[in-house]
Amino acid sequence: MPGKESTPPFQSKLTPYRNEILKAWFRRQTLKEIQAMLQKHGVTISLPGISLFIKRHKNKYDPKAELQKKRVQTAKASPRKNRLLSYRRWRKVLVRDSSEVAREYDRKRRSCRQ
């Protein structure tokens, strides 16, 4: 239709707001709240339309992916620091007496049985 802003064929008008919608859904917001959020962006859509969009896209979205990306970026930013921390942890393990390690293992095993 000339003069009307629309999305390409076979693409939902919710696609640009996909991450926002799914974040809201995983935060347990209701469909009405999501609909109100979309109306602020100027998108008018029915509740069943939002529901179908969420059902179609929720399995492809990982809400923790952003946190993982941040962790990877910080890990890449300081590899030397990570190496030192890893070395210190291993040194603590290697310095320990084998009988002490065996006692700790037995304690943990007993506590799991109870």
Residues 59, 22 contacting (CB under 8 angstroms): no
Q: What is the SS3 assignment for 77?
A: helix
Q: Using CA atoms of 80, 84, 89, 93 in order, give the dihedral in degrees to the nearest 10.
A: 120
Binned at pLDDT 50, 70 and 90, residue 35 comes out as very high
Binned at pLDDT 50, 70 and 90, residue 1 comes out as very low
pLDDT digits (tens, 9 = 90+) for 6-18: 667 778 899 899 9
pTM: 0.50
pLDDT digits (tens, 9 = 90+) for 58-114: 887 776 666 666 666 655 556 666 777 777 777 776 777 778 878 888 888 888 776
